[in-house]
Amino acid sequence: MSPDPSQSAYAASAAALALRALGALRGTEGTALVTRHVEEADDAKAALAAIRVVGADLFAPCLLADVSFHPEDAAAVAQSFVVFPPPVNALAPPPTGAAEPWIIAWRDWATATLLAHRTGTKTDGIRAPRAAASPADLGLADPAAPAPVPGGPGADWQRWSVRMGQLSPLALPGLEGPVHAAARAAPLALARGATRAVLRRDFPTAMRITRWLALLSSEGVRLPLDPVPLIEHLRLHGGGPRLALDAAIARRVLGLEIP
């Protein structure tokens, strides 16, 4: 079956916007990068969808490279919430509710929070999802508990770490909430998840989880592995604009230069 053309357009637009954000982190992209992305796009709706996909990471140059967030960019981010409004009703966390909408709600919260904090622009109806992002709220056992028999029942740190990877745009300075508390409570589970993803050659997932390890390391949390060589390995062996942006953000969080 051929892929949905609209979905392909959205994915391509998100990759192009990630490249612009990466350029801003490196100091090679000018101002108003989000607005230019929309204005220069063949499909303005796909460009607005890309804003929602890249989300809070659009603020990474502002948070990590002292790049101002242009007022026109703030207006474009706010417009993306108008064109693609989030659900009106509060979403129940898993396992009561579906995981994907709840994860998207947390990512929207991160974008809206940084938009308000950095520009004063507020979006209507964007709130933190109901309930905390603790292992229990995710419907999983404690990821910090001793590892079960490999492949046996109760290997919940695997699913938990993947879901934390899906929440990687929250792994930025300037954000704080129960998702961050959950990460600090289980560095071993995050390290296991990143290692498992590397062994499976799932480099995008490994890099997303490693962003949490980088943030914890920057906060002085003791980790079971050094995230720096892991970031370098993933940067060299992985591919694509999204992974490159994740790697650059992780390096900046650790105070390292971007190659």
CA 76 to chain centre: 19
Average pLDDT over residues 165-177: 93
Model confidence pLDDT, tens digit, residues 1-56:
344 557 888 999 999 999 999 999 998 877 789 999 999 999 999 999 999 999 99
Domain spans in the chain, listed from the N-terminal domain onward: 132-259
Average pLDDT over residues 61-70: 90
* DSSP 8-state assignment for residue 144: T
Structure tokens at 83: 């064109």
pLDDT at residue number 99: 80
Res. 118: pLDDT tops 70:
yes
Distance in angstroms (rounded) separating the CA atoms of residues 34 and 80: 11
N-terminal to C-terminal alpha carbon distance within the chain: 39
Choose between 97 and 82: higher pLDDT. 82
pLDDT at residue number 96: 72
